[in-house]
């Protein structure tokens, strides 16, 4: 019995790719190291796979640090195989083997399906195998998948990106956007629901440009409405849209499709119009704020999150003040905030007027302080409300000591809730209704049930699916599922998607 260990860094796309890597390895006969009892688990798996990110500067340091930590294990056991995939592999290629010659396999973002064959070839030839394709030949959703969750799943609607943001290396690593047929996406969603999934997140580098490849600019809004017709699918989320391509038909679809959640991740990056132009972000701050206004007009309780970059080349104090202004006006529920770092191969890497590290750090600290205050203020407005929570396993680090359970509200806020003495205990995948008693800066506390407040448990097919898997080889994780076909221009009869509101809207 050979074991595997997939270690994931980066975005949701990488998380979903890692589910496919796990599915491929299990199909090839490997066993997840984490599935073994602790006392039977070897210190290192027979195959260790790093699914890497290349967006931030410290991604390089993290990868080579992790590879260095494995070198003694490789020296002690030459049969141990180490593979590196993902965006860093696509970018660095032969450099990885030069810097870490004990690596056995390097594969790119376009050929994750080759991993088992490359491992066999490296073992047979006793030399490193490097295979990097320049373009996608097979949509990843055709590959077998070992999902992490019994009740929630990712569904890719596209891969790649057609934007040319000067700070971003993703388009050169993931390639041009390729869209799946809407009928295939909906078929995968239905298949997941049949397996007990109650929440699906639609994935793409730029989801709201979905359909451009096959000539339907309204395809994403239609796709959202179509998910509302899938019986048993309770929650639909998506990430990430681009403000430049975000249209009102998507807002209408969100507002009028009951299972599309009132949460939206809308990357701002910077509040200064001058910096946005330098970033090649084809929108300006007023357009961005206008989108948020229209979202909140149609979906008053929507929680909006964002991405922000501090210290882009040439950013002045006046530019940064504009970012603070737009953040204050936007009232984000939370923000992923980054200090700009040079990524070789991007236009911004060679721009003049790189901002000194000390200046970037000081601005970063101010921005974090502002967003923390806003997040706390926004969370306090939820005190006294009753929220519906999809229960998750171990979302809270202190759940065991506080005897609370955790999960996500419809707007994706993290909620820690108390269970009254003797009350039914919800399972992961079930839904509870609870009263919020305190809005903390980064989560909500719902202890109202301890004082006679709301505590209602609704058992779901997601909870049933989770419970059924507790005696599985990997508790709570579904078995490997086969992939779904395919990409390309849809046939005229591939899917009928209503342009009006979904049933029940």
Domain around 195? 140-261+469-488
Q: How far apart are CA 266 and CA 441, in angstroms?
A: 20
Q: How far apart are CA 293 and CA 298, in angstroms?
A: 9
**Tens-place pLDDT, residues 181-193:** 999 999 999 999 9
Domain C-terminal end among 338, 355, 381: 381
- Residue list for the binding site: 11, 53, 87, 161, 165, 168
Question: What residues have CB less than 8 Å from 406, skipping those under 6 apart?
Answer: 391, 392, 394, 395, 396, 399, 414, 415, 416, 417
Question: What residues have CB less than 8 Å from 487, skipping those under 6 apart?
Answer: 139, 178, 179, 180, 181, 184
**Residue 26, Cβ neighbours under 10 Å: how many?**
20
Residue 494 falls inside a structural domain: no
Are 10 and 46 in a shared domain? yes
Are 147 and 251 in a shared domain? yes
Q: For position 180, which CATH number holds? A: 3.30.750.210
Model pLDDT, residue 401: 65
Domain C-terminal end among 381, 414, 431: 381
Contact criterion met (CB below 8 Å) for 250 and 221: yes
Residue 493 falls inside a structural domain: no
Q: Which residues of 38-49 are buried (b: 16+ CB within 10 A; e: fewer)?
A: eeeeeebbbbbb
**Tens-place pLDDT, residues 241-263:** 999 999 999 999 999 999 999 99
Of residues 55 and 503, more confidently modeled: 55
| Domain count within the chain | 4
Model pLDDT, residue 21: 92
pLDDT surpassing 70 at residue 474: no
Model pLDDT, residue 9: 87
Model pLDDT, residue 92: 86
Number of H helices, E strands in the chain: 15, 21
Q: For position 324, which CATH number holds? A: 3.30.750.200
Q: For position 102, which CATH number holds? A: 3.40.50.12160
Domain C-terminal end among 78, 108, 131: 131
Q: How far apart are CA 453 and CA 204, in angstroms?
A: 40
Are 94 and 106 in a shared domain? yes
Residue 502 falls inside a structural domain: no
- Residue list for the binding site for [4Fe-4S] cluster: 11, 53, 87, 161, 165, 168
Predicted TM-score (pTM) of this structure: 0.84
């Amino acid at each position: 019995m050979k074991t595997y260990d997939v270690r994931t860094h980066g975005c949701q796309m990488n998380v979903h790719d890692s589910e496919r890597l796990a599915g491929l390895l299990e199909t090839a006969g490997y066993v997840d190291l984490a599935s073994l009892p602790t006392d039977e688990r070897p210190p290192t798996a027979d195959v260790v796979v790093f699914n890497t990110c290349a967006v931030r500067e410290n991604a390089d340091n993290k990868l080579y640090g992790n590879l260095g930590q494995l070198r003694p294990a490789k020296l002690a056991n030459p049969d141990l195989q180490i593979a590196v995939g993902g965006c860093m592999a696509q970018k660095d290629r032969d450099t990885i083997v030069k810097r870490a010659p004990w690596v056995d396999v390097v594969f790119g973002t376009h050929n994750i399906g080759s991993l088992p064959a490359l491992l066999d070839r490296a073992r047979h030839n006793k030399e490193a195998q490097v295979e990097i394709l320049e373009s996608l030949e097979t949509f990843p959703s055709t590959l077998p998948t070992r999902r992490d969750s019994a009740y929630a799943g990712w569904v890719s609607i596209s891969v790649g990106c057609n934007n040319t943001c000067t700070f971003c290396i993703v388009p050169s690593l993931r390639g041009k956007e390729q869209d799946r047929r809407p009928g295939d996406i909906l078929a995968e969603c239905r298949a997941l629901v049949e397996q007990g999934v109650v929440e699906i997140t639609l994935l793409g580098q730029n989801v709201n440009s979905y359909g451009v490849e096959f000539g339907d600019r309204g395809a994403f809004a239609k796709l959202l409405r179509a998910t509302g017709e899938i019986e048993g699918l309770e929650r639909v989320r998506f990430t990430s849209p681009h403000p430049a391509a975000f249209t009102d038909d998507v807002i209408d679809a969100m507002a009028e499709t009951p299972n599309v959640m009132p949460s939206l991740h809308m990357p701002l990056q910077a509040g200064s119009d001058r910096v946005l132009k330098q970033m090649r972000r084809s929108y300006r701050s007023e357009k961005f704020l206008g989108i948020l206004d229209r979202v909140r007009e149609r979906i008053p309780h929507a929680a909006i999150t964002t991405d922000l970059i501090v210290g882009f080349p040439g950013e002045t104090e006046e530019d940064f003040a504009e970012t603070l202004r737009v953040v204050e006006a936007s009232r984000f529920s939370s923000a992923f905030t980054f200090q700009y770092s040079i990524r070789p191969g991007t236009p911004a890497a060679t721009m003049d007027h790189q901002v000194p590290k000390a200046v970037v750090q000081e601005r970063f600290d101010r921005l974090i302080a502002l967003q923390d205050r806003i997040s706390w203020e926004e969370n306090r407005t939820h005190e006294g409300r009753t929220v519906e929570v999809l229960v998750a396993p171990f979302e809270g680090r202190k759940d065991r000591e506080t005897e609370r359970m955790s999960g996500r509200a419809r707007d994706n806020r993290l909620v820690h809730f108390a269970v009254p003495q003797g009350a039914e205990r919800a399972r992961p995948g079930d839904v509870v209704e609870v009263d919020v008693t305190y809005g903390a800066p980064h989560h909500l506390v719902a202890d109202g049930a301890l004082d006679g407040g709301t505590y209602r448990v609704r058992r779901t097919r997601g909870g049933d699916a989770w419970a059924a898997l507790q005696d599985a080889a990997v508790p709570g994780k579904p078995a490997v599922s086969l992939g779904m076909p395919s990409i390309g221009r849809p046939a005229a009869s591939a899917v009928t998607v209503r342009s009006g509101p979904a049933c029940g809207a």
